[in-house]
Amino acid sequence: MSIKWCNVFPPEVPGEFHNSVLNTLETQTKQPVKKERVKIMKFKTLIAAVVAVVMLGAISVGAYTLINGWNPKMAEIFDADEQTQEKLTNNGMSKVVNLSDTNNGVTLDVVQTVADANMAYILLRFSSENERLLEFEGFNDHYSISDRFHIEGYMDSLTPKEKYNGERDFSNVFVSSMSSGIVEDSMETVIDENGKTVYQFYYGITIMNDNQQDYNNRVATVKFKDIGAYEGKLEGYYNVIEGEWEVSWLFEYQDYTKTYELNKSIDVNGVEVIVKSVEISPLALNIVIDGDSARALHQNALEVYPHLETQDFADINNILNYINFLPVYKNGEVFDDVSSMGSMGGMEEYAAKKIFNRILDIDNVTGIYAQCISYPEYEFEFSLVD
C-alpha cells in the first residue's frame, strides 16, 4: 500500500524540510522496520514535532538539526552539529548561496560554501523531473576542472612566475589543488512542494589553496555541459541529457588560520628533522619541513628500506608521503579525520598539505602527531605551545 503524504503538511513548513520528511516517510512505508534501531512515532505526534521545530527556527533532518539555512548534505559532509553550523555561519566561513540555472528541464543549484584561506568546499545540486538524471556518471563536456570552476583573477594566476629550474624549485609557482565529483550516496528521489517527483544528486568541488593566494570577495563561476554516462574506455561518454548550466556569485569567506613559526629540531630515527612552521585552520593543515632534513630523512629511509628508492631524485618526499600529520588536542585526543591533498618538495623545504573531513577546533590544538603506520620508527610528535 502506498501512502500519499504530500498534502498533510501545513504551508508554513519549509520546502526543503518538507521534501526530506516526505522522502523518509515514503521510504519507510516500503521498508521493514528494524525495531532495535527505529523509534516509531504516531503520525499526529510527528506533525506536532514538525511545527515545533519550525517555531524554534531549527529543522531536524536525519541525524542533523539544521539552522541558519544549512543544507543537510553539507552538514553530513562535515559532520557539523548545530553548534558547529552556528559557529561557521557566525564567523563567516559558511555562506548559503542558493542561486540556480535551469536548462532542458535540469536545474543546477549552487547551494552552500564552506571556506577559508587554505581550503574551500562548494556544494552543488542537480535536479530534474526527468528520471534519466540518475543515470549520471560524468559530464560529456570535455572541460577541465578549471573550466568548470573559476574564480575571477585567481585561477588566471595559477601559472609559474618563472619556470622552475632543473632542481625543481617550486618557490615561484602558484599552485592550487582541485578535485570535484558526485557526493557519495547523494542520488535520490524527493517529492517537491507541489507533490511532484524530483530526481537529484549533489556535486562537490574542493580547492586546496596551496600558496594561499587571495580569492576572497571575487566572482566565482561554475559551468557544466551535457549530463553524461560512461559507455566504455573506447567509446567514452554519451549524452543522457543535453544542456549547458552556468551560475556566478560573489565568493566570500573569513580566515582564522593560526601560524606557528617553530624552527623546531626533532630526532626522528637518528635524523635531525627541522620543522620550520605549521599553519592550521578549522579546515586544513600545512606542515613545512627544512629541505636538508627532509633529504636526510629520505636517505635514512633508503638505507633501512631499499625498496623505497626511486629513479627520480626529486621524489625526496617519498618517506614523508607515508607520514600522516594529525592535530592533537589539549586532552591528548588525536584528531585523525584527515585526508592528504598532496605535497611539494623543493630544495629549501618540503610542505605537506592536509584537509580535514570535519571541522577542527583549532583553539584546543596543542601539538602535532606524525603518524607512520607502515614505518613506525619514523613517527614523531611535537608541541605547538612550548
Residue 337 CA to residue 324 CA, distance in Å, equals 11
CA-derived radius of gyration, the chain = 24
How far is 351 from 355, CA to CA, in rounded Å? 13
Q: Which of 54-58, 187-191, 260-264, 266-270 has the lowest mean pLDDT?
A: 54-58
Give the lowest-confidence range in 78-82, 156-160, 367-371: 156-160
DSSP code, position 376 = G
Domain final residue pick, 251, 277, 309? 251
Share of the chain above pLDDT 90, in %: 54
Q: Kindly tell me if the per-residue pLDDT of 316 is higher than 90.
A: no
**pLDDT at residue 12, as a whole number:** 41
Lowest average pLDDT, out of 130-134, 166-170, 210-214, 265-269, goes to 166-170
109-113, 205-209, 363-367, range with the lowest pLDDT = 205-209
Q: Considering its fold, how many domains does the chain have in total?
A: 2
Segments forming the whole domain that contains residue 364: 258-383
Per-residue model confidence (pLDDT) at position 48: 35
Residue 53 is assigned to a structural domain of this protein:
no
In whole angstroms, what separates CA 22 from the centre of its chain?
28
Q: What is the pTM of this model?
A: 0.76
Q: Is residue 336 in a domain?
A: yes
User: Are residue 196 and residue 267 in the same domain, yes or no?
Assistant: no
264 vs 275: CA distance, rounded Å = 5
Q: What pLDDT is attached to residue 33?
A: 34
Beta bridge partners of 273: 266
Grid coordinates belonging to 254: 573569513
Same domain flag for 266 and 339: yes
Burial class (CB in 10 A: 0-12, 13-18, 19+), 22: buried
Rounded-to-integer distance, Cα 291 and Cα 376, Å: 22
Per the domain annotation, does 10 fall within a domain?
no
Q: Which of 114, 45, 105 is CA-nearest to residue 78?
A: 114
Evaluate if residue 13 carries a pLDDT over 50. no
Which of 229, 251, 273 is the last residue in one of the domains?
251
Per-residue pLDDT averaged across 275-281, rounded? 96
**Does residue 205 register a pLDDT over 60?**
yes
How sure is the predictor about 154, in pLDDT bands with cuts at 50, 70 and 90? low
- Is residue 302 domain-resident? yes
- C-alpha cell of residue 327: 592535530
Distant-in-sequence, close-in-space partners of 26: CB < 8 Å, separation ≥ 6:
3, 5, 191
What pLDDT, on the 0 to 100 scale, is given for residue 260? 97
CATH number at residue 138: 2.60.40.1630
Of the listed ranges 104-113, 155-164, 254-263, the least confidently predicted one is 155-164
Q: For residue 142, what are the contacts with CB-CB under 8 A and spacing of at least 6?
A: none
Amino acid identity of residue 137, one-letter, is E
pLDDT band (50, 70, 90) for residue 315: low
- The residue out of 251, 281, 315 marking a domain boundary is 251
pLDDT, greater one: 19 or 115:
115
Q: What's the chain's average pLDDT?
A: 79
Q: How far apart are CA 246 and CA 63, in angstroms?
A: 32
